[in-house]
Amino acid sequence: MVSSNNAQQAWQRAQAALALQLTASEYDTLVGPCRFFSYEDGELKLLVPNSVARDLLGNRLRPWLKEHLAQLLGEYVDVHLILDTAVPDAAAPATPLELLAAQAHPAEEQAGSLPAGGNRLNPAYTFDSLVIGPHNNLVCAAAKQIVNLEASHFASLFIYANTGLGKTHLLHAIGHLAQSLQARVCLCSSEQFTNDLVASLRHRKGSADAMDRFRRRYREVDLLLIDDLQFLANKAKTQEELFHTFAALYAAGKKVVLTSDAPPSQLHGLEQRLQSRFEGGLVVDIEAPDSETRLAILEAKTQLFGYDLTLDLLQPIAFQTYVNVRELEGVLHRLNLIQRQQNGELSLHQVEQHIESLAPEQEPVEPELMLKVISDNYGIKVEDLVGTARNRNTSRARQTAMYLLHRDLKLTLKATGRLLGGRDHKTISHGIRQMQQRLAGEPQLVRDIMEVRSRLQSTVAAQDWT
């Protein structure tokens, strides 16, 4: 059963996700004032400041909230919005027109205050919650160094990686660390930067200092953090403003951190002068995590979500070659749901069966390579694997080969037998049935299977690289 504490944490994560999707004024008007009230029997109640915010939030965001919270909590969630009687009526717009006006003309920031958008750091995205391993230790070291504004020898840090590998988490962690050192921080997505620029240009005639406010927001800071830079491609006016913002911060001795899905040289539609600026700083990538790091990530996520998945159940997930952390989270959510449907019961064999259907498509593997990897994993020679030796270790390795050749490589029983020293299809069929029975009751065998698969994909990847 989901506790009220876990539900409140899920609401905070949903708020953080919305902070990255909405404009600053939309978030501050619709989401920021909402408060968690209770969670019971799949019903999450939120306190909203007034009826106008309740109606707009219900119409625009309630479906998204229900789906997102259900994914986080592993069960169906209904969202109820309740008027917060503790909030004075005068604190909120009284009519839809006033509310829309508040969105279109957010209050001006006081000079020297924290820029809008810079105070919405995700509380869950810190260095303490970030799993550091060989895939990201270099970029994490660079991130911590750039926060030390005096000691850093580079003006900008450009972080690139495929989707779901932790760029946004790291960007927020940098922001938290910098704020703890009393630095003025502004974090935004490239879309928010563009939207704020467009709004400032649109209202420039009615408000002579609209652009001045925009520039103070993004330039009067110690550290500017911009996420998903790739979405600025071919936006000439936004790129021009970003170039001048970068130049102003550089001249003032301030720092800039940017993230993207590709290095500057591969960002199509990016002006040459911006590319040159970014490449003049430090450019570092985040790689896909290895199996040990994936296991550490799974343990951290399981604790964060409040799931009851033990280490034995997490190990086979880690041995699969998932591309990114979001895929790992998706597997956890699905297995948690299955476990709840089975009254808390979930076997290692069930985990193995379910994650096979969720695993990403793998590179094609030659049968001979699989035999070599299995032999190495069990510490025997390929000749013994396909030969007549009948000791316990060799027999286990041979049955593993039968199972994986037939199940993973889709070889027929006859073809599998031919590879394993000319054994007939009845022998292969019997060996596979024995493996299926043992997998249901031998956790170590499941781990052996996953280890072979992991080594196999690593070997294939290494061959492709060379």
Structure confidence at residue 11 (pLDDT): 87
Average pLDDT score over residue span 442-454 = 78
The amino acid that residue 36 corresponds to is: F
Q: pTM to 2 decimals? A: 0.61
427 known member of a binding site:
no
> Does position 213 have pLDDT exceeding 70, yes or no?
yes
Strand partners of residue 46: 36, 81
Q: Residue 254 — φ and ψ, nearest 5°?
A: -95, 175
Angle among Cα 359, 360, 363 to the nearest 5 degrees reads: 120
Q: Which H/E stretch holds residue 430?
A: helix 425-439
Band of pLDDT at residue 204, cut at 50, 70 and 90: low
Give residue-wise pLDDT tens across range 282-305. 999 998 888 778 888 888 888 877
Structure confidence at residue 416 (pLDDT): 94
Average pLDDT score over residue span 107-131 = 59
Structural contact between residues 457 and 464, judged by C-beta atoms closer than 8 angstroms: no
Q: How far is residue 239's CA from residue 202's CA, in Å, rounded to a whole number?
A: 17
Report CA 1 to chain centroid distance, whole Å. 25
166 known member of a binding site:
yes
> Does position 58 have pLDDT exceeding 70, yes or no?
yes
Structural contact between residues 219 and 245, judged by C-beta atoms closer than 8 angstroms: yes
Give residue-wise pLDDT tens across range 392-406. 999 999 999 999 999
> Does position 99 have pLDDT exceeding 70, yes or no?
no
Average pLDDT score over residue span 100-124 = 45
Give residue-wise pLDDT tens across range 312-355. 788 777 776 666 777 788 788 888 888 888 887 888 777 877 77
Torsion angle, CA of 352/358/361/366, rounded to 10 degrees?
A: 10
Band of pLDDT at residue 118, cut at 50, 70 and 90: very low
85 known member of a binding site:
no
42 known member of a binding site:
no
Structure confidence at residue 93 (pLDDT): 36
> Does position 74 have pLDDT exceeding 90, yes or no?
no
Q: How far is residue 336's CA from residue 344's CA, in Å, rounded to a whole number?
A: 9
Nearest CA to 385 out of 397, 402, 373, 376 is that of 397
More confident site: 219 or 52: 219
Q: Residue 78 — φ and ψ, nearest 5°?
A: -110, 140
> Does position 391 have pLDDT exceeding 80, yes or no?
yes
Average pLDDT score over residue span 106-123 = 46
pLDDT more than 70, % of the chain: 84
Beta strand 43-48 with 78-83 is parallel
> Does position 171 have pLDDT exceeding 90, yes or no?
yes
Q: What is the DSSP string of 304-331?
A: HHT----HHHHHHHHHS--SSHHHHHHH
Give residue-wise pLDDT tens across range 232-248. 988 999 999 999 999 99
Helix axes 137-147, 167-180, angle to 10 degrees: 30
> Does position 434 have pLDDT exceeding 70, yes or no?
yes
Structure confidence at residue 150 (pLDDT): 65
> Does position 215 have pLDDT exceeding 70, yes or no?
yes
Residues 6+ apart with CB under 8 A from 252: 219
Structure confidence at residue 463 (pLDDT): 64
> Does position 115 have pLDDT exceeding 80, yes or no?
no
